[in-house]
Structure formats: structure tokens, C-alpha cells
Chains A and B, each alone.
Chain A
Amino acid sequence: MSTTGISSWAVDLADIGAVYPFQGAEVIFLLIGLAFWLWWHVWSIKAENARHQEKIANHGSAENIKDALENHH
């Protein structure tokens, strides 16, 4: 019993193909991967927008912006 399908190296390597664990579950791996990728885009856009709004709320006055342009090149 082995997650990779290999339980001993007493084999002819010419007969061996894939050796990664849980072969046969590739569809599940892909679905998890796709979900994670799409979620990450949504999260990053929301988080970035929130940071922008926070920055504007805390520092977005005309005076602050003029000061920032003087001091942060």
C-alpha cells in the first residue's frame, strides 16, 4: 500500500510512469486549483480597493495631498 503506487523499487524503470501520490484524483486537484485562483483575484481586487478607500479617508484631503507631493517624490 502506497499513495504513489510504488511500494518497492525492485522494478524495471522502463515499466514505471507516474509516481506522484493520489493518481486518479487529478480532476479534484484541478478544481481546487481553479477555485483558489479565481478566489485570489476576487480577494486581491477587494483588498486593494479597501486599501485605496482607507488611504483616501485618512490622507485624501487637499492639504495632505499637497504635502505628500512636496515630501514624497
Chain B
Amino acid sequence: MGSNLDAITTVFTEFYYWLTVALMFLIHVGFCMYEVGASRRRNHMHTLMKNSMLIPLVTITFFFFGWWIYWALPQWPIGSGIDFETAAANSPLSENMGTNLGDRITGVFWAAFLLFSWTAASIVSGSVIERINSGAFWILAVLIGSVAWIIDAAWGWHYGGWMVQYLGYHDAYASGVIHAIAGGFALGVLFVLGPRLGKFAADGTPRDIMPHNPWFVCIGLFLIYTGFWGFYVACNVPLIDPGGIGGQITGETWTATTIYLTPTTLGAITVNFLMSLSGGMLIGYMVSKGNAFWTYSGGLAGIITASAGNDLYHPIQAMIIGGIGTYLAYKLHFWVENRFKIDDAVGAVAVHGYAGVIGLLICGFVLWGHPSSPYEGYAPITPWGQLGGAIIMFGVLGFLPGWVGAKILSALGILRIPKEVELLGLDFASAKEEEAAAHEVRETAKSMV
């Protein structure tokens, strides 16, 4: 920090990312609430622990190797290869990762990315409730949270990523790099895991397994909206001068940028966040005939669909795109459930996966020809570049690792809980203890009368 202006910029950036982390924590609170609310009473504490323990596991593994992956692989396997030098500065062996008065940014930047990692794993968590072994899920959580998603971030969510350079891939607020990949991963796991006992009738007709607390589910989704604000601003670089970008931009005007270092404004993404949320809620309410869960989920799907291009869209475009994504995601959820007998307990594959893919594709048309990067020689945004990106996000780095990981865990006999435990309920033993304790207190109280 050579001057006071440098110092203010650095400390502002440090504080900015720190604030996004605190806000994004609410995403996880929301995920826990809605997942527990969606589970049946006999499973809810187990459900809570399954999701909660991904926090420490993804955190430590993201420290051990996730962050290194992000800086090592932007140009691998297409491009100039593994960047060992830049990655070394972000490895767990680097002095930048500890208390370091010469580097105030790496730690908060790492943490912002980490909260994205939690989100990716948590999206998967909701879809597999009430029948997956927690230990198996935690391995899958590390696979999506500290490996798969961060590879896609290196490729398509980095100013030097090969997908940006060669495909013109544009995904400013992570329609694909978080949501499509997590939805695809969840679908891959669900294909192997199978539905909850009783979900489908003998003729294949799906049954509704009702949440034990719908109000809890909705408040959880509301909290995810709240945390989403942190997610959005964490996707930006808050303040940078053209010299710092080092691209084709001329002049002295400092700006906020996307992760690709392309200019945008906080004002734009704030309006577009709200308009896409609104489009999603309005269509969600309409298509579900006023169902609260799908209305709130529609809000999320709306934001997720518009996120790829919300750095540039007009607000009304954001609203329409959010509505289209929500409508299609809702229809696809029930079509896939019926056609493939997939039991996605919270609709995560639809809200995150399908909406994310749809958002990437729409972005390719609406932003067709816009420069994907401030650097010379990068491909512009195109529908085919976005299609390629969607296939990589949902299929190659999402569905495939989820399916393979689940297959391996299934072959080891640790993917799914035993049938008797599923029928008894995961919390059965503790519920019996609580009953016994309550009975004893009641009997004691009666003896005092």
C-alpha cells in the first residue's frame, strides 16, 4: 500500500468481501431451515446435521486444495496448461494464506469463494434428504464443493479462463458455475440413490411427501434471498482502475467490474436482482396456483435464470427472463419426476440446475456479440458458446461427477441408509429417548399431585 489512496482502496476491498461473506452465511442458514422444514419430523435433526457438517468439511478442503485449483487450472487442459506459479501463491503452503500484513485481500477473496462452495454443496444436500448416509453425502459435498465447482470456476469464471477466452462464456452471477453444476450434480446422485420409500406408487405415480413445517421452508427460502445479496456483490470486483485491469479499456475512470473484469455497476445488478426475483415470483405463483413453496422457489429460479447476464440486462429483460426460467424449471421438475421417477425432495435440480442452464442459453442470445472480456483476442458472447458452457457446467462437471461419485459410494455399500432405518426414521433413537425422558418427567409431576 504505497499511498493513502492505495490503502483506502485495499481496505475498502477487504471490507467489501468480508461483508459479502457475512451476508452469504445467511444462504446457508436458509438452506438448513428449508431442508429441515421439508423433511419429516422423524428425520429433521439428522437432516440438519447432514447439511451443517458440510460447512467444516468443505471449508478445510477448500483451504487444502480448492483454492489452489482455481488459480492453477484456468488454462488447463485447453490453453497454456497448469499455472503452478500463480497457484503457489494461493496454496495452503503460501504465506498469503496466513496472517500477512503484506496481503490483505487473498483471505477475504478465498472466503467469498468458499461461501460459494458451501452453496454448491448445500444445493445438492436438499435434494437427497431422508435416505442418504450422511458420511456418503459429506464425501460428495467435498467433491462438488472443493473440486468440481472450482474447476468450472477456473475455466469459466476467471478473467483468464479458457472457456471465456475461446467460447466467450459469460456467466456474471453464476447461473452455470454454481447453479447448473450443482443441479446437474444432484441429478447424477439422485439417479443412483433412488427415491424415498413410498414416494412412488406401484404404477409409478408420484406421491407428495409433505414438509413437516411449510412455514419453516418458506422462511428458509426468504433467508436465501437475503444471503443472495451477498452472493451477487461477491461476484464483482468493487473498484478497479483501467491500469489495474490492463486490458483494452482506456482513460482514467475507475469502475466496478464482473469477475471477468468487464465493467458493470452495483446499481444495475441491484435493480436486475429485484426485477428477476419479481418475474420469478409472479410466474411461480401463477404456474403453481399460489403454492407458497413454488412461489418462493420461483423467486430463486428467476434470479438464477437471469444471473448469467444480470450485469448488462435491462431490468424488464431481467424480469421476463426470470419468469421464463421459472416457468420452464417448474414444468421440467414434474416432467422429469414422472418420466424418470426422480425424487428431488426440494426441487433443487429444477430451481438451480434447469433454471441455470436456461439462463445460460438465453444469455447467449440476448448478449450475442458483446465482448466477454476486456482483453484482446477473447471470443464474444454467442449462443453456441453459452450452449457449450451449459453442457460443461450441467453435464461434464455436474451430472457426471455426481453420478460416478454416487456409483462408487453405492458399490462400497455406504450411499444409502438401510431400509429399516429409513422406515424407523433417522432420529428414531433420539426420539425414543426424548419420549422416555418426557414420560419420566410427567410421571414425576403426577406423583406430586
Chain A residues proximal to chain B, CB less than 8 Å: 13-14, 16-20, 23, 26-27, 29-30, 33-34, 37, 40-41, 44-45, 48-49, 51-52, 54-56, 58-60, 64-65, 68-69, 72-73
Contact = CB atoms under 8 A, between A and B. Distances in A.
Interface string B40-60: 111000000000000001001
B93 A59 contact: no
Given A16-B102, A29-B92, A49-B135, 17 more contacts: A16-B101, A17-B100, A17-B101, A19-B99, A20-B98, A27-B93, A33-B92, A49-B414, A52-B421, A55-B428, A58-B429, A65-B420, A65-B423, A68-B424, A72-B41, A72-B42, A73-B212
Contact of B424 (A16, A27, A37, A60): A60
Interface residues of B, number: 39
10 contacts: A18-B100, A19-B99, A30-B92, A40-B57, A55-B424, A58-B429, A59-B428, A69-B423, A72-B425, A73-B42
Given A65-B420, A72-B428, A13 B101 contact: yes
Contacts, number: 98
B42 A44 contact: no
B60 A37 contact: yes
A13 to B, nearest CB: 6
Nearest to A23: B95
Nearest to A65: B423
A40 B142 CA distance: 13
B424 A65 contact: yes
Contacts of A20: 98-100
A37 B135 contact: no
A40 to B, nearest CB: 8
Given A33-B64, A65-B424, A68-B423, A59 B418 contact: no
B134 A48 contact: yes
Nearest to B40: A73
B139 interface: yes
B207 interface: no
Contacts of B105: none
Chain A's interface: helix, strand, loop or mixed, by majority? helix
Interface string B162-177: 0000000000000000
B60 A64 contact: no
Nearest to A69: B423
B61 interface: yes
Contact of B95 (A14, A18, A29): A18
